[in-house]
Amino acid sequence: MNYVIRRLQAFPLVLVGVSVVVFIAIRLVPGDSITAMLGTEAGLLTPQQRDSLAIYFGIDQPWPVQYWRWFTGLFSGDLGISVTYGKPVLTVILERFPLTLELALLSMLIALSIGVPAGVYAATRNERPADLGVRIAAMIGQSTPSFVVGLVLIYILSAGFGVLPTMGVFTPFWQDPLQNLGQMILPAITLGLAFAASVTRVSRSAMLDVLSDDYVRTARSKGAPERRVIWRHALPNALVPVVTLSGIEFGYLLGGAVIVEQIYALPGLGRMVLEAILQRDYALVQGAVLFIALNFMIVNLLVDLAYAALDPRIRLEGR
């Protein structure tokens, strides 16, 4: 319990750090947000109109004042107004987040359902051709960038089957589950394959470690069937590093998968931040990065806790 409290105490400090860095960084981007928002029309603005817009978005003040305003706003859930969307930042983020969350969950599902069985299978056939095959496949999978997987998948679909994946639209799961899955399956596979490759590698080596443990030998010598030994005795312990890996990866995916979202034209969190940076949408970039960093830290904390829960030998207090 003490450990959780101590970790939680570090949260505000890191978050303040992140907020300061992103606040300054986004203001270092050349150009101003009003010009970026209106494009060529910005030239038609009178100086007075420009000033009143700046006042409306709060970017007329000196930086420290702007930061303080924004920072104190955070405590009442006010992340400011997005210049590009003309809506509160939190609303914009929460509109995009379900897609990113679903994509992360689906890719993790794909990764675990391929990776764990493949890793276990390879470990039970250690150094035999089947093991070698799985290892080579996993190594190649881990070395293939997601955008290569994505482009090749699109190519196979369009050239081989004459179909193009639906792009640019997103139907929430609760509106039409089937249509939603149809839109999400390719991006999820794209992200899931490399993820599955690392899960395979980690579950294989963890399984190999566990299989040479004494208690597994005991179970075998008692005459337990091999399948039971592997799935009931060995696997739960071998899953500890798999949980850590998937947790960390999941944390990254919650930050949005910029490139995959770009390939499939999905309105997710990653692409939103990319566009917000290019549009100099100060408030949106600040809010989104803070949101992503907070998610990342929460997921990491949960991973550490799960780690301790799965393996009672690990004591978190000492760290």
Which residues in this chain contact another protein in the complex, by CB under 8 A?
A: 10, 13-15, 17-18, 21-22, 25-26, 28-30, 139-140, 142-145, 147-148, 151-152, 154-155, 158-159, 252, 255-256, 258-259, 262-263, 270, 273-274, 277-278, 285, 289, 292-293, 296-297
Instruction: Give the sign of the dihedral formed by CA 233, CA 236, CA 240, CA 246.
Output: positive
Nearer to another protein, 1 or 28 (CB): 28
Nearer to another protein, 145 or 172 (CB): 145
- Residue 61 CB, nearest approach to another protein (Å): 21
Nearer to another protein, 90 or 157 (CB): 157
* Residues β-bridged to residue 242: none
Nearer to another protein, 26 or 116 (CB): 26
- Residue 22 CB, nearest approach to another protein (Å): 7
- Residue 40 CB, nearest approach to another protein (Å): 20
Nearest Cα neighbor of 80 from 291, 244, 230, 222 is 291
Nearer to another protein, 13 or 44 (CB): 13
Write phi, then psi, for 18 (nearest 5 degrees): -60, -45
First to last CA, the chain: 13
Torsion angle of C-alpha atoms 59, 61, 65, 69, degrees rounded to 10: -40
Cα 277 vs. chain centroid, distance in angstroms?
19
Spell out a b/e string for 234-273, using b for 16 or more CB atoms within 10 Å of the CB, else e.
bbebbbbbbbbbbbebbbebbbbbbbbbbbbebebbbbbb
- Residue 99 CB, nearest approach to another protein (Å): 16
Nearer to another protein, 142 or 244 (CB): 142
Exposure of 128 in the CB half-sphere (CA atoms within 13 A) = 7
Exposure of 87 in the CB half-sphere (CA atoms within 13 A) = 7
- Residue 152 CB, nearest approach to another protein (Å): 6
- Residue 150 CB, nearest approach to another protein (Å): 10
Q: How far apart are CA 265 and CA 243, in angstroms?
A: 30
Nearer to another protein, 29 or 74 (CB): 29
- Residue 118 CB, nearest approach to another protein (Å): 18
